[in-house]
């Protein structure tokens, strides 16, 4: 798999004596979580994993050289049962996903590490990340953090419809890959589909509403795309990568400064 993680920030490139020399109280370890799942006709299965690595790698490159922050190898497989029925989707169950995170937390805790950030770029994992950040805190007293997606950037230039319902393989994901790995994008195979229409608000919405319906991609989109990749440009992708990296780096720095024991 491609990587944008600087070698000096790659935990798995260390040997165990180098790991043993890391300051236990202050070292911040980042566990990337993503997915291997269908992304329409035009993007690769690894899209969420590649974007995770891309944004995290650019964020880590912005940190001061002496900041004790390392990226762990990613959990490539996520809870992707919303994309079942499309060949290539490799999903794990929620219990398996949570068990992997729990076991990795146990390993890090037994080695004496204190600070762990879960950095997730697949929507199907989001609820489980929030559960596990708290559970790892409770069970192992790890100081855990959850970090999601692009760090809350505004994505200037996105139309309201795409901003609300560009869920999957739409303009943003396509732009990221056009900027960073254009050889993996098939520009001749774009399709567009939306799960809902911002101009027609309904009582039941797919997400981010008081009343929601649980959705499966195959109910909505024959191609697997939910969004519109056609306006995506490498220029916007490069700008959003830079903005996301800046926001994610600021979040990582806040996690570094965050006290190990909160005030009573
Ligand atoms: Zn995706």
The whole-number pLDDT of residue 260 equals 74
If phi > 0 it is left, if psi is from -120 to 50 it is alpha, else beta; for residue 227 that is left
Q: pTM score, two decimals?
A: 0.96
CA distance 58 to 71: 12
Q: ∠ CA 19-62-130 to the nearest 5 degrees? A: 70
Query: How many Å lie between the centroid of ligand 1 and the Cα of residue 50?
Result: 9
Query: How many Å lie between the centroid of ligand 1 and the Cα of residue 20?
Result: 36
Query: How many Å lie between the centroid of ligand 1 and the Cα of residue 49?
Result: 8
CA distance 182 to 187: 9
The whole-number pLDDT of residue 208 equals 87
SS3 assignment for 74-142 = CECCECCHHHCCCCCCEECCHHHHHHHHHHHHHHHHHCCCCEEEEEECCHHHHHHHHHHHHHHHHHHCC
Query: How many Å lie between the centroid of ligand 1 and the Cα of residue 184?
Result: 14
Beta bridge partners, 212, equal 205
Reference 9, options 248, 238, 247, 261; nearest CA is 248
- Domain architecture of the chain: domains with CATH: 7-257 (3.40.50.10310)
SS3 state of residue 254: helix
The whole-number pLDDT of residue 81 equals 97
Query: How many Å lie between the centroid of ligand 1 and the Cα of residue 39?
Result: 6
Q: Which two tokens stand for residue 186?
A: 């098939």
Query: How many Å lie between the centroid of ligand 1 and the Cα of residue 171?
Result: 11
The whole-number pLDDT of residue 259 equals 87
Query: How many Å lie between the centroid of ligand 1 and the Cα of residue 17?
Result: 37
pLDDT tens, residue order, the chain (264 aa) = 999 999 999 999 999 999 999 999 999 999 999 999 999 999 999 999 999 999 999 999 999 999 999 999 999 999 999 999 999 999 999 999 999 999 999 999 999 999 999 999 999 999 999 999 999 999 999 999 999 999 999 999 999 999 999 999 999 999 999 999 999 999 999 999 999 999 998 999 998 899 999 999 999 999 999 999 999 999 999 999 999 999 999 999 999 999 877 666
**142-193 pLDDT tens trace:** 999 999 999 999 999 999 999 999 999 999 999 999 999 999 999 999 999 9
CA distance 241 to 262: 32
The whole-number pLDDT of residue 263 equals 65
């Amino acid at each position: 798999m491609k990587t944008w993680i600087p070698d000096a920030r790659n935990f798995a490139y260390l040997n165990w004596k180098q790991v043993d020399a890391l300051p236990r109280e202050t070292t911040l370890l980042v566990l990337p979580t993503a997915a291997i799942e269908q992304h329409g006709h035009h993007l690769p299965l690894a899209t969420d994993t590649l974007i995770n690595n891309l944004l995290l790698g650019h964020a880590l490159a912005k940190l001061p050289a002496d900041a004790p922050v390392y990226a762990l190898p990613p959990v490539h497989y996520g809870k992707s049962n919303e994309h079942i029925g499309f060949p290539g989707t490799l999903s794990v169950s929620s219990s398996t996903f949570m068990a992997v995170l729990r076991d990795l937390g146990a390993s890090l805790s037994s080695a004496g590490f204190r600070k762990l950030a879960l950095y997730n770029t697949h929507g199907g994992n989001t609820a489980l990340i929030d559960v596990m950040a708290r559970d790892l805190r409770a069970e192992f007293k790890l100081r855990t953090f959850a970090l999601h997606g692009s760090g809350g950037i505004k994505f200037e230039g996105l139309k309201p419809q795409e901003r609300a319902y560009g869920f999957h393989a739409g303009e943003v994901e396509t732009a990221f890959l056009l900027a960073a790995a254009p050889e993996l994008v098939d520009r001749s195979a774009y399709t567009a589909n939306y799960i809902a229409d911002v101009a027609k608000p309904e009582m039941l919405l797919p997400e981010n509403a008081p009343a929601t319906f649980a959705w499966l991609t195959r109910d909505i989109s024959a191609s697997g795309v939910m969004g519109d990749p056609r306006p995506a440009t490498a220029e916007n992708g490069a700008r959003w990568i830079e903005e996301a990296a800046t926001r994610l780096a600021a979040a990582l720095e806040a996690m570094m400064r965050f006290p190990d024991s909160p005030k009573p």
